[in-house]
Chain A
Amino acid sequence: MGMLALAFLGLLAVIAFFAPMIANDEPIACRIEYTRADGATTNKLYFPGVKETLRQLPWIGPALFSAAPPFSRMDFKFKKHFKPGRDWAIMPPVPFSPLETSGDRIQGYSGRHWLGTDELGRDVLSRLVYGTQVSMRVGFISMGIAALIGLCLGAIAGYFGGWVDMIISRVIEIFMCFPVFFLILAVLAWFPPRIENIMIIIGLTRWVGIARLTRGEVLRLRELEYTAAARALGAGPFRIVFRHLLPNALAPALVSITFGIAGAILVESGLSWLGFGVQAPNPSWGNILRDGYGLMATSPHMIPPACVAIFLAVLCFNLVGDTLRDVIDPRTRGRGA
């Protein structure tokens, strides 16, 4: 079950990254004859979908794929200049962009729009694909922030003990009292409701579980002989904590992080549903659900896809977390998964 869930999450990750090649109104690859304003005619290969995908790579993407051929930017509209017969193009499986409106409003499932269209005639499947991007990003980045804080503080509290532990443990207890969802709503009253802000707030509040688990694990590990051996070899305290102990203490935190990702996805969906998350017109699973909710009485076709997407993603992260826990903790081995 766990492996199946992991495979599905892998699929989601692939969908998220390759979204511009899966759902796009521009082709993956095309050859177009085009007469420029100065009268010169060009007939070149273009890969707008590929380029858009690669541009998403952090840091190197924008630097590498800005202008140079063969990914060169088309200085014309694909739809306007594309002539079937003369030119050819390989379109993505979902040939609609998530923001592209059309006259086909509020349509049910069809061969053209597999999951129908919304109020503005936007393709729901295309929006769902890009919603995956948002959810994965929120899940991983927010828990990345949480893991960074939680692992560091937990390890420091566990290893140094004494008043350091005392302070960090009290801070953890204080943070545990925060109702995260309402805190986010409150913070978004001051800060622009951008997805980055949501990620940061989730990260800044969800680290406590990770910190507690790491602290407990480090408390156990610091009594082991290899810690004494590292000290006897002349390693300093920070070297011992972050190089020797933390890698050994990762396992339980990893389980917590996996569950945390599921939680973060749920929080983001909830916020988007309320209109505080990803802002229109950009798609997210919560947004799609909200758009569908308004039309539920007459055309409920938008509800199931968004629900199923949220449900499956959260379920799979939880299943993976469960399996991880079974693998890590020998006492539960053989029961679950």
Chain B
Amino acid sequence: MTLLSIRNLSVEFHTEEGIVRAVNEVSFDIPLGKTVCLVGESGCGKSVSAYSLLGLVSPPGRVVGGEAILDGAAKQDLLKLSGKELRSIRGNRISMIFQEPMTSLNPVFTIGAQIIEAILSHQNIGKYAARKKAISMLKQVKIPAPEQRVDEYPHQLSGGMRQRALIAMALVTEPDLLIADEPTTALDVTIQAQILELLKELQADSGLSVLFITHDLGVVAEIADEVVVMYASRIVEKAPARELFANPLHPYTRGLFNSLPSLGGNADGRLQTIEGSVPDPLAFPTGCKFWPRCELAVDACREIEPGLRTLAPDHSAACDVIEGGSRD
């Protein structure tokens, strides 16, 4: 069952220096109750893709093409909804949590007030019932003493606690899809593990789908069912997590895995890197956007932009050079 099906999503930013195509013909599905990880380095378009699903890309950026069909009684195309229709979906069927728990909560309201607001803006229940719901949600995200915490201000909470409060705020309306934009990046590793664990538990309880945006492959390994790798505005590889970790195909994905430090690796171990740097979005290379950094590049790569090819079951990559199915 597919909850959200994204087809050929393209987002452009019309800046004074020129048109930047931040997201280019991106297509992937988010299955019901599964976690899809959108992986890539900074500026590859992963956040913009997610924001555009909720109509949160603000000018000069705008969605220039594609569709995102949300399954439900009416199959709605998120990219074509009016502002009012979008607002009824935001925070209700699709919620979002953000990278910086420090700044994602409004400093002048108690966390309770913010959770209650989320409830009341989508559900027609009384204030007292909403408050009770907020407290039980805080309990669900394992905030100790929720009856007291509910009346505390964001600055009284630690980073991990704030991220929990944000998750409570996002999930209190029982959405179908949670978009998590690097929710653990700003947290230290132990808290990060706790939050991931919490997300997995909540997901198991509620059948929630998650679109998880990250650049941390460790986090991907922890949480992903499906992985979509993006590079310079395009999807370069998508596969189920297990398959991708066992058998990365695209040279970029391989590079990413190779550049991970490993415990007990070679002692003289210099970290492997991908040569070069991310291309300037105003001047993407012609052909495959990865060729200037690619070890396997051939002349044809400079001319022809490769499309996604299915190279193994459920596993596709956008590279014309590599052979499918080879497990090495």
* Residues of A participating in the B interface, judged by any CB pair closer than 8 Å: 162, 224-226, 228-236, 239, 244, 247-248
Looking at B94-102, B188-196, B255-263, the stretch in contact with chain A turns out to be B94-102
**Which single member of B88, B89, B96, B122 contacts A229 (CB below 8 Å)?**
B96
| Assembled-state Cα–Cα distance A248/B154 (Å) | 13
Q: List the B side residues contacting A162 at CB < 8 Å.
A: 59
Please state if B108 and A232 are interface contacts (CB–CB under 8 Å).
Answer: no
User: For residue A229, which residue of chain B has the nearest CB?
Assistant: B104
Please state if A235 and B121 are interface contacts (CB–CB under 8 Å).
Answer: yes
Please state if A248 and B87 are interface contacts (CB–CB under 8 Å).
Answer: no
B112 within 8 A of A: no
| Assembled-state Cα–Cα distance A248/B104 (Å) | 13
Docked complex: B166-192 residues within 8 A CB-CB of A: 166, 169-170, 179
Minimum C-beta distance from B204 to chain A (A): 24
From A224, A230, A247, A248, residue with most partner B Cβ within 10 Å? A230
The count of residues in chain B whose C-beta lies closer than 8 Å to any C-beta of chain A is: 30
Across chains A and B, the number of contacting residue pairs, with CB separation under 8 Å, is 66
The 9 closest A-B pairs by CB, nearest first: A233-B91, A234-B91, A232-B96, A234-B90, A225-B104, A247-B108, A225-B103, A234-B87, A226-B106
User: For residue B51, which residue of chain A has the nearest CB?
Assistant: A228
Please state if A232 and B95 are interface contacts (CB–CB under 8 Å).
Answer: yes
| Assembled-state Cα–Cα distance A162/B60 (Å) | 11
From A225, A236, A239, A244, residue with most partner B Cβ within 10 Å? A225
Please state if A226 and B91 are interface contacts (CB–CB under 8 Å).
Answer: no
Q: List the B side residues contacting A226 at CB < 8 Å.
A: 103-107
User: For residue A226, which residue of chain B has the nearest CB?
Assistant: B106
Docked complex: B66-107 residues within 8 A CB-CB of A: 87-92, 95-100, 103-107
| Assembled-state Cα–Cα distance A226/B103 (Å) | 6
B54 within 8 A of A: yes
From A162, A224, A234, residue with most partner B Cβ within 10 Å? A234
Please state if A233 and B95 are interface contacts (CB–CB under 8 Å).
Answer: yes
B56 within 8 A of A: yes
Tell me what chain B mostly uses at the interface: helix, strand, loop, or mixed.
loop
B9 within 8 A of A: no
Q: List the A side residues contacting B95 at CB < 8 Å.
A: 232-233
Q: List the A side residues contacting B87 at CB < 8 Å.
A: 234-236
25 A-B residue pairs with Cβ-Cβ distance under 8 Å, sorted by A, are A224-B103, A225-B98, A225-B103, A226-B104, A226-B106, A228-B56, A229-B97, A229-B98, A229-B166, A230-B106, A231-B54, A232-B56, A232-B90, A232-B91, A232-B96, A232-B179, A233-B96, A233-B169, A234-B87, A234-B92, A234-B118, A234-B121, A234-B122, A235-B117, A247-B109
| Assembled-state Cα–Cα distance A247/B117 (Å) | 16
Docked complex: B283-325 residues within 8 A CB-CB of A: none
| Assembled-state Cα–Cα distance A213/B72 (Å) | 45
Please state if B103 and A231 are interface contacts (CB–CB under 8 Å).
Answer: no
Please state if A232 and B54 are interface contacts (CB–CB under 8 Å).
Answer: yes
Minimum C-beta distance from B236 to chain A (A): 27
Please state if B98 and A233 are interface contacts (CB–CB under 8 Å).
Answer: no
